Structure formats: structure tokens, C-alpha cells
Structure 1
Amino acid sequence: MATTPHHPAKRIIMLVLGIILILLAPVVGALPGPGGIFVFAGGLILVLRASRWARLRWARLKRRWPRLGHLADRVMRRRSVQRRMARLRASDAETLGTN
């Protein structure tokens, strides 16, 4: 689970920087290349790490649209996805071993 920074100033700086990057993403997206996607993802990561409110909203979004949430988690290389994939592989190996 992503933890929030301990110092309030660090958390606020991360939150503000993340919001700026998210707002800057459409501007960068107008330039040639996929830069806007990476800027948005970086901003989203910063906001999710700094804000409990944003993490709760993110969890709700993932429950409503699980395919999109799973794809975004894989792109952000979140530990929860890595654990989930390892459990899925282990359960698949067990079912194949019993047949």
C-alpha cells in the first residue's frame, strides 16, 4: 500500500506538484509524441501517494470499471497488482497440477 509522506509540507508539495502535472498533461499532449500520457500518469501517482481522499476515489473508480483500473495499476506498476498476479499464477499452477 502506498503510504503518505510523514511530513505535512512534503505531502502538500507532492499534492500540488501532482495537480500541476495533471493540469499540464493536455498541453503536453498537444505536442507530438506520447508525452501527455506520462505527465498525467506521473501527476496521478503523486496525487495518489499524497492524498487519502484521492486513494479512496481511485478505489471506487476501480470497483466500478475494473478493467480500466487494472490496466492503470499495471502501467503504474503498483505492488497490489504484482501480488494479485502472483496469486493468480499460483492458483492457476495448482489447478493445472491437480488435473
Structure 2
Amino acid sequence: MTFAMPSLRVYRATDDLAREIVARLVRWGLVLLGLAIVALGVLIAPLPGPGGIPVIVVGLMIVLRNSFYARRQFVKFQRAHPKMVFPIRRLLRREPEVLPVFWQQYLRVERLVLPKRARFAVKVRRRFMRRR
């Protein structure tokens, strides 16, 4: 009775080098894809509606996940302006909270743009919360 020995693959330094090169190429490709999506969002932004902003955010998410330099710049910006970056960080999480971020930003814009007597989002929220 003869048993065949399973062949063990010997990993070499060239295999590790090839994996590293492929990983870097993929990372660079994703960064370029993210930058292209950001450029597309900038082109779409002048059109009516909020079409450009979500596209820009998706492109930035791709770039931030794959570029160490962009991530460092983002952290520096976050330390300088934490209130501005917090909503973006909430959207970059694994399970992003899209509706709460949208609502919070809507309230901020309403507070900046409308006088106190013309703001209606807070009144609607209070009316809705009382019914529960």
C-alpha cells in the first residue's frame, strides 16, 4: 500500500514581492477610481438637486480607504475642524447613519439660512415626537 505525500508549496520571496506589487497596483487603481468619481461629482454639482454631493462623498470614501497620504491629511483636517468633519466620519463607518447625518446637516443649514420665525424643521420634529 502506497500513500502519496501531498505536495507542499514552498513560498518564496518572489511570491511575497508579487503579492505586494499587485496590492499596490490595486490600491493605486482604487485611488484613481475615487479621484475620477470625485471629478464626476464636481461636474454634476452645478445641475439642479443634490446629485453632486453624494457622488463626491462616495469618491472621497474610496480615496480615504486606500490612500495613506489622504488619510493623514484627513486626520489633520479633523483635528483642526472637528465639527465640520464629524458628519463625514459618521458616513465613513462600516454601517453609516445616513438619515441622522442628513437630518443634522439639514438643521444646521436651516439655522444658518432662515430666521428663527421661519424655521419649520424643529416645529415638525416637536409635533411628531409629541404624538408618540
Kindly provide the amino acid, as one letter, of the partner of residue 29 in structure 2. I
Work out whether 1:65 is the aligned partner of 2:86: no
Q: Which has the higher contact order (CA 8 A, sep 6+)?
A: 1
Extract structure 1 runs of 4+ deviating beyond 2 A: none
Kindly provide the amino acid, as one letter, of the partner of residue 75 in structure 1. L
**TM-score in terms of structure 1 length:** 0.67
Q: 1:1-99 counterparts in 2 under 5 A?
A: 7-76=23-92, 78=93
> How far, CA to CA, are the matches of 2:91 and 2:66 in structure 1?
19
> How far, CA to CA, are the matches of 1:16 and 1:35 in structure 2?
21
Match of residue 95 from structure 1: none
Larger mean CA deviation between 53-62 and 25-34 belongs to 25-34
Query: CA offsets per residue over residues 8-58 of structure 1, 9 Å max, x none?
Result: 221111100111111222211122221101110011011111110000000
RMSD of aligned alpha carbons: 2.0
> How far, CA to CA, are the matches of 1:75 and 1:42 in structure 2?
9
Alignment coverage as a number of residue pairs: 75
- Find the residue that maps to 1:23 and give its secondary structure: helix
Match of residue 19 from structure 2: none
The runs of 5 or more residues in structure 2 that have no matched partner are 1-21, 98-132
Identity of aligned residues (%): 33
Match of residue 94 from structure 1: none
Give the number of the structure whose residues are more often helix, by fraction: 1
Max Rg structure: 2
